[in-house]
Each structure stands twice: as C-alpha cells, then as structure tokens.
C-alpha cells in the first residue's frame, strides 16, 4: 500500500479522499509547525508528501525519502521547496494556484478599508478606554472612493483586486514587468504605469506579487521616500518583498501614512516596532484562510496524489 505523509493538519476532505482510494495516510497532529527533524523522520518510507508552504522541504528531506514520487504543496507559493533539486531527482512538485484568488483579493480590500476607516484602531479603543460619544471631528478616517490604488503584480489575484477596487470607485494603476493585453487591461479598467509613477501617485499600494530574485526588498527606504506621506502599503504577496526595517523607519518618520501586512519578511516573526504602531494592521497570513479556499486546495493536493498513484500526470507542476 502506498504511503502518504501530510505534514500539517489539513481539511478532512483531503484525508478522506486519499483514504477512500486505499492509500495509507499519516497526518502530523502537533500543535506547532512540524520541525525539520520530525519531518525527516516521517518521510523515510513515504511515496507522497503533502506539505504547507510554512514547511521547508530541502535537499536533506528529499534525500531522506528515497521512495518519494510527488511533493504536493498546499499553497500557491513554492519557495519553501527545493523544487530544482526535486526535478533533478525526477520528483514533480505541485502547488494549488487559482483557488485562492477570490479569498486573497477580498482580504486585500478588507485591509484597505480597515486601514482607511481605522476599524481595527477603533475596536481597540472600544475594548480599552471607550469613547466619549459621537462628535463631528472625532476619529476621522478616509473614504477610498476616488482614491488611486497601485497594484504591484497583476496576476490572477491582482486582477481580482482591480475588479473589486473598481467596484468601490477607485482608480486603479498597476505595474509588473509586462503590460497586460489591451482587451484584458480595458476590461479591468486598469492603467499600466512605471514603478516610479505608481510609487509617487498611489494613495494605496497593494503588493500581490510572488517572490522572485528581482523583487527581494523591492520596497526599501528609497521606495518609501517616493511614496506620498499619506499613502498606505498593503502586503498580501510575500514578506521579503518589503524591507520591514526600512518600513518601520519610514512609518516612524512619517514618510508614509500606514501599512497593513498579512505576510512578513521573517515569518512568523514580526519586525520590532510594527506592533506598537496604531496606523499598522497585522494579520496572521490569513489571505486564503476560508473554508471554501482551503477545501478547494485540499481537493487539488489529493487529486494530484491520486493521479501520480495511478501513473498519470498531476496538475500544476511547477518544476
């Protein structure tokens, strides 16, 4: 019987589908993330590894699993896996794209709205000192209608953010290495601009890009100095795209107006200084943390395992 190791607790739909197909499934049940040593010990005789993007699968793990036929990553990203080495060992690596698109786009707009209307700050006020009553100039925020949103990364998620932002009467600009085709760009009501123009003109900047060699610390001290002093940065892409030490310095100096982060440069650690700022919202990487998205992701990884077990090609191979 082929063996599957699942290195984190996943939706029941995933395990049930695999067990119904007659596979021997073991799922890590610890309360914390699995350690490297625990993962190494668990994969010695497994045929399939299902792992979340929070777990590092390096050469040692791959070499420690001589029967391994597939690494199915539970997440759209795959920077946690040495997929180049896996390819050299003829082990396909898959991910779960597309199904997270709507959830992450909703969170992006939710963070923009929460930051603009000071919703989190207001909640904290009501849970502590309370407020003296309604008054005309008390606790003012800003409406997002008519404001300019700059999107960095116009893939599926960036496009979904653009659609939702246009529905909220925002002007949408975007930057990535290539411009969208004309019909697609016009259907989104988005405008392609240079990175410098995006930094200088945006009221909100949303990072919806994957991490690659070219955008590490793309948002650094120089970038923050180009932004409006009232602008807000929203990062739901990947943490290391932002130099968080430079972000703290920019916020403290008043170079930008605020930030909302769902991903972190040194995840799960938060850079010192961010937690003390009222104009910063911090969420625990919950971009696609919905029942709908996680169940869909679970179906993808299970289906890919079953495909390889049946000597068929899996979907969404990234290597």
Pairing status of strand 190-192 against strand 93-94: unpaired
Q: Are residues 238 and 190 in the same domain?
A: yes
CA quadruple 118, 121, 127, 129: dihedral sign: negative
318 falls within a domain: no
Active-site residue (options: 238, 255, 265, 294):
238
Per-residue pLDDT, 79: 86
- Whether residues 54 and 18 share a domain: the answer is yes
pTM of the model: 0.90
The question of whether 238 is a catalytic residue gets the answer yes
Structure tokens at 116: 């603009």
Rounded mean pLDDT of 168-173?
Answer: 98
pLDDT of 31: 87
Is the domain of 128 the same as that of 273?
A: yes
Collapse the DSSP code of 277 into the 3-class scheme (helix H, G, I; strand E, B; otherwise coil) and give the result: coil
Residue length, the chain?
319
250/118 same-domain check: yes
User: Do the beta carbons of residue 82 and residue 57 sit within 8 Å?
Assistant: yes
38 is catalytic: no
Average pLDDT, the chain: 96
Catalytic annotation on 292? no
Structure tokens at 245: 């030490």
Contacts of 127 (CB under 8 A, 6+ apart): none
For residues 79 and 163, membership in a common domain is answered with no
148 and 199 within one domain: yes
The residue annotated as part of the active site, out of 38, 185, 197, 267, is 267
- For 122, the token pair is 């207001």
Residue whose entry in the numeric block shows the structure tokens 């650690």 = 269
- Structural domain harbouring 271: 101-282
**For residue 49, what is the domain's CATH number?**
3.40.50.720
Work out the pLDDT band at 221, boundaries 50, 70, 90: very high
What contacts 187, CB < 8 A, 6 or more positions away?
none
User: pLDDT digit string (tens) for 88-105?
Assistant: 999 999 999 999 999 999
Q: Are residues 106 and 93 both part of a single domain?
A: no
Q: Which residue among the candidates 117, 191, 217, 285 is catalytic per the annotation?
A: 285
Tokens of 264: 């972190």
Total count of domains within the chain: 2
Give the tokens for residue 295.
């169940």
Interval 270-311: pLDDT, tens: 999 999 999 999 999 999 999 999 999 999 999 999 999 999
- Is 88 part of a structural domain of the chain? yes
Burial (CB < 10 A; 0-12, 13-18, 19+), residue 115, is: buried
């Amino acid at each position: 019987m082929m063996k599957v190791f699942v290195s984190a607790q996943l939706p029941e739909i995933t395990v049930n589908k695999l067990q119904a197909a007659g596979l021997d499934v073991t799922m890590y049940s610890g309360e914390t993330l699995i350690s490297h040593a625990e993962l190494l010990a668990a994969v010695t005789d497994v045929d399939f590894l299902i792992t979340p993007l929070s777990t590092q699968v390096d050469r040692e793990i791959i070499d420690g699993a001589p029967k391994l036929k597939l690494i199915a990553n539970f997440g759209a990203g795959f920077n946690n896996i040495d997929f180049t080495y896996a390819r050299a060992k003829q082990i396909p690596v898959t991910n779960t794209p597309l199904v997270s698109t709507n959830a992450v786009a909703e969170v992006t707009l939710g963070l923009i709205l929460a930051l603009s209307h000071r919703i989190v700050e207001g909640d904290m006020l009501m849970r502590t000192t309370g407020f003296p009553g309604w008054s005309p100039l008390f606790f003012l925020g800003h409406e997002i209608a008519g404001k300019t949103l700059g999107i960095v990364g116009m893939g599926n998620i960036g496009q979904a953010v653009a659609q939702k932002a246009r529905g909220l009467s925002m002007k949408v600009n975007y930057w990535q290495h290539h411009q969208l085709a004309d019909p697609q760009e016009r259907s989104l009501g988005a405008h392609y601009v240079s990175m410098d123009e995006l930094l200088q003109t945006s009221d909100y900047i949303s990072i919806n890009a994957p991490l690659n060699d070219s955008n590490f610390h793309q948002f650094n001290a120089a970038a923050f100095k180009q932004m409006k002093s009232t602008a807000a940065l929203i990062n739901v892409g990947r943490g290391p795209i932002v130099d968080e030490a430079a972000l703290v310095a920019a916020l403290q100096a008043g170079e930008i107006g605020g930030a909302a982060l769902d991903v972190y440069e040194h995840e799960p650690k938060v850079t010192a200084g961010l937690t003390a700022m009222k104009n910063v919202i911090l969420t625990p990487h919950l971009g696609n943390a919905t029942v709908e998205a996680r169940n869909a992701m679970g179906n993808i990884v299970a289906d890919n395992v079953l495909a390889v077990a049946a000597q068929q090609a899996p979907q969404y191979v990234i290597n």
